[in-house]
């Protein structure tokens, strides 16, 4: 009698996803980083401009927004995996091929991501003006000015809390909806419902996975953006295997129910 498919994903799977993702990344390292480069450069230039003009705290909001907006654009990495698995050459044309293969559902998810970002950045800027108005902020005295330190810490706490709520929503509706739409051409509602159900069905695994993906990239974008050239494709490739495991688990649950 054949062994039944597993119905649950365990936390140990995260290491396997990252290992398999890194194998794909190594095969097409240059192209993977090349695709991430424009996004990282834009982020670096905007952050530098904000910090130079006294808006270092707002640059933190920019880094968080980067994470909200990018997931729907990561289909390029799914296309790279497809061509690697089919022993097809991965070239610059792969990038164009990915966008030609992108269904309208994913563009709809991008619109939702933009809306979520606008909600967060608007609310966070309102909180910012409560503490600092919109004047440039000199953080040189952060270590000695107790009042400034308290206001900065409070702002970062509330902005991060709001961002975390929005981030959880974005992760829930995009993490598995994007590969579902890309590979199975699922409609918008079906893809989003599948993603949300998968998140809650494997909640003990998805919490550390989301924390790892979100926090590591946020730290990289805030303190050393070039690191995102490696992290962005790595997590995209790894998420492909998270999606594959979710399909296997879903099939196992259906078999057990039958």
- Can you tell me the distance from the alpha carbon of 21 to that of 252, in angstroms, rounded to the nearest whole number? 24
Does 127 reside within a domain?
yes
The answer to whether residue 233 sits within a structural domain is yes
Q: Is the pLDDT of residue 256 over 80?
A: no
% of the chain beyond a pLDDT of 70: 95
Quote the pLDDT of residue 255: 57
Residue 59 is predicted with a pLDDT of 84
Whether 254 is covered by a domain: the verdict is: no
**Residue 258's pLDDT is what?**
54
pLDDT in tens, 127-162: 888 888 887 887 777 777 788 888 888 988 988 888
- Give a yes or no: residue 5 inside a domain: no
Structure tokens at 81: 């995996």
pLDDT tens by residue, 34-90: 999 998 999 889 888 988 888 888 888 888 878 888 888 889 999 999 999 999 989
* pTM for the model: 0.88
pLDDT on residue 2? 40
Q: Is residue 81 part of a domain?
A: yes
Domain around 77:
13-247
Map tokens 């953080």 to a residue: 139
Mean pLDDT of 234-251: 92
- The tens digit of pLDDT for each residue in 3-13 reads 455 678 899 99
DSSP, residue by residue, 173-187: HHTTHHHHHHHH---
- Provide the number of structural domains found in the chain: 1
Q: Contact, 70 vs 116, CB < 8 A?
A: no
Question: Is residue 180 in some structural domain?
Answer: yes
What is the predicted pLDDT for the residue at 68?
A: 84
The reply to whether 74 falls in a domain is yes
Read off the pLDDT of residues 182-205 as tens digits, 9 standing for 90 and up.
Answer: 999 999 999 999 999 999 999 999
Residues 6+ apart with CB under 8 A from 91: 31
Q: How many CA atoms lie within 13 A of 236 on its CB side?
A: 26
Residue 219 domain-assigned (yes or no): yes
């Amino acid at each position: 009698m054949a062994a039944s498919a597993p119905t649950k994903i365990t936390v140990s799977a995260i290491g396997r996803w990252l290992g398999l993702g890194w194998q794909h990344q190594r095969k097409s390292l240059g192209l993977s980083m090349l695709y991430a480069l424009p996004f990282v450069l834009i982020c670096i230039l905007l952050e530098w401009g904000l910090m130079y003009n006294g808006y270092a705290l707002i640059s933190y909001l920019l880094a968080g927004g980067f994470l909200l907006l990018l997931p729907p654009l990561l289909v390029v990495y799914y296309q790279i995996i497809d061509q690697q698995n089919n022993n097809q050459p991965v070239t610059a044309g792969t990038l164009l091929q990915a966008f030609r293969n992108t269904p309208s559902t994913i563009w709809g998810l991008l619109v939702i991501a933009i809306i979520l970002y606008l909600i967060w950045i608007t609310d966070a800027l309102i909180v910012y003006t409560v503490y600092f108005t919109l004047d440039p902020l000199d953080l040189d005295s952060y270590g000695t000015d107790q009042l400034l330190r308290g206001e900065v810490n409070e702002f970062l706490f509330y902005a991060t809390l709001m961002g975390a709520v929005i981030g959880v929503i974005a992760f829930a509706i995009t993490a598995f909806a994007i590969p579902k739409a890309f590979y199975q051409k699922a409609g918008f509602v079906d893809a989003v419902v599948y993603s949300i159900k998968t998140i809650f069905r494997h909640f003990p695994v998805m919490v550390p996975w989301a924390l790892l993906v979100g926090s590591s990239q946020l730290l990289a974008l805030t303190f050393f953006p070039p690191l995102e050239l490696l992290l962005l494709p790595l997590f995209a490739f790894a998420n492909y295997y998270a999606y594959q495991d979710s399909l296997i688990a879903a099939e196992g649950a259906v078999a057990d129910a039958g």
